[in-house]
């Protein structure tokens, strides 16, 4: 069965040792940012066990949902997608990747979600800086938002 956890695992992958992400931040596990941009990776000498990473991911996703509900427009979009786990996971994943403020900046896309205009929501996602930075992820997410069906990559 697909879930936000399967989606994050696929999109972020798993790396038990710290590395520098494409944006220049020290990162570990399922894409967990662990330090400031440009920080020396030699400062992060550890190995993260996968079970610890899974617990960390679970906590982050729970906290993310709370933070998302603090923004009125995001809260409305989440409510619309409550019974639509594939679309809900797209919103959660976008917030996970770019932060709640980053997702909240997708004002027209979120309005389209609230109004259940899935084609417009999908188009808004693809017409963004985010889609240019992570085009394959954006394509998968936009298709999932448009159709309401889990992308096969996420274990559908």
* Domain that residue 61 falls in: 4-150
Confidence at residue 2, expressed as pLDDT on a 0 to 100 scale? 63
- For 54-94, how does the pLDDT look when each residue is reduced to its tens digit (9 = 90+)? 999 999 999 999 999 999 999 999 999 999 999 999 999 99
Percent of the chain having pLDDT more than 90? 96
Q: Which two structure tokens, joined as six digits, stand for 64?
A: 């993310």
d(CA 124, CA 107): 9
Query: Is the residue at 112 inside a domain?
Result: yes
Choose among 102, 147, 142, 103: nearest CA to 123. Answer: 142
Instruction: Give the CATH number of the domain where residue 62 resides.
Output: 1.10.530.40
Q: Is 155 inside any structural domain?
A: no
The total domain count for the chain is 1
128 within a domain of the structure (yes/no): yes
Q: For the chain, what percent of residues have pLDDT higher than 70?
A: 98
């Amino acid at each position: 069965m697909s879930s936000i956890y399967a989606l994050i695992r696929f999109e972020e992958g798993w790396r038990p040792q710290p590395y520098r992400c494409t944006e220049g931040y020290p990162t570990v596990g399922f894409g967990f940012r662990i330090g400031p941009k440009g920080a020396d990776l030699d400062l992060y000498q550890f190995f993260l066990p996968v079970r610890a990473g899974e617990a960390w991911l679970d906590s982050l996703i729970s906290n993310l949902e709370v933070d998302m509900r603090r923004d009125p427009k995001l809260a409305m979009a989440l409510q619309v997608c409550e019974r639509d786990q594939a679309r809900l996971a797209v919103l959660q994943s976008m917030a996970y990747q770019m932060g709640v403020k980053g997702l909240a900046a997708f004002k027209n896309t979120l309005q389209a979600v609230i109004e259940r205009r899935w084609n417009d929501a999908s188009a808004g996602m693809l017409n963004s800086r985010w889609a240019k930075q992570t085009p394959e992820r954006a394509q998968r997410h936009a298709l999932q938002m448009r159709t309401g069906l889990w992308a096969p990559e996420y274990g559908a």
